[in-house]
Amino acid sequence: MCGITGIMDLRARREPRRELLARMNEAQHHRGPDAGALHLEAGVGLGHRRLSIIDVATGQQPLFNEDGSVVVVFNGEIYNYQALIPELTQLGHVFRTKSDTEGIVHAWEAWGEACVERFRGMFAFVLWDRNRETLFLARDRLGVKPLYYAVLDDGQLVFGSELKSLAVHPGLARDLDPLAIEDYFAFGYIPEPRTIYRMARKLAPAHTLTLRRGEPVPAQRQYWDVRFTLDNPIGESDA
């Protein structure tokens, strides 16, 4: 388990306040007690709390591609990353670590938004591509790893592995969502995309969100779903 958080200015290139981003990141210290780091540039800030499991020595995050133009913060595990490395290497990508995290940045460069369709695992990650002015949020197929986000009134987007990270930001309105409260009493939890706060949203399982500065916030995009059919009989041995 790790913790990710961050801020993007959707209107201009105001650099996030380091002190505020650090507090958002530390709100999730329990998710990653082994290490913590921040990355800030014009209009974007990313934070990560790390629980070291894969590539303990060189897998620190935020993690970059070769020229530093793509950076990712990631929570989870890509089970098939070793199978993807030879294919990505043949496409010209150079790996400097042995981490599954680095596979994400190179898969983004190779396949764009479709990279999530190549991953097998449990994950929530947010990736910033400076050349494309694009922030990409993704969540695994079954929603094992959480990811929350909110668009604030001043045009900033904030995200985090837990709602408490977003709540650190003073721009997040604390107005409760009455429909979310109704859902909680009906189901015992609040289904995606709602949260207890009217302003905040949960990225749904098997969904992505692609944001570009100056453009309206799009709807979440679904990249996978379970399909139940009645036309696939199996034999006794398979059963």
**Chain mean position to CA 234:** 38
Q: Tokens 């002190």 sit at which residue?
A: 19
Phi, psi angle pair for 113, to nearest 5°: -60, -25
DSSP letter at 167 equals H
The set of residues, in sequence order, having a beta carbon less than 8 Å from that of 188 and lying 6+ positions away, is: none
Per annotation, catalytic residue among 1, 2, 58, 106: 2
137 to 40, 91, 199, 228: CA distances (angstroms): 18, 24, 18, 27
Q: Is 162 exposed, middle or buried (0-12, 13-18, 19+ CB in 10 A)?
A: middle
117 Rama class: left (phi>0) / alpha (psi -120 to 50) / beta = alpha
2 flagged as catalytic? yes
Distance in angstroms (rounded) separating the CA atoms of residues 224 and 142: 9
Phi, psi angle pair for 126, to nearest 5°: -130, 130
CA angle 92, 122, 51 (to 5 degrees): 90
Q: Which tokens is 220 given?
A: 């979440």
- Which residues are the active-site residues? 2
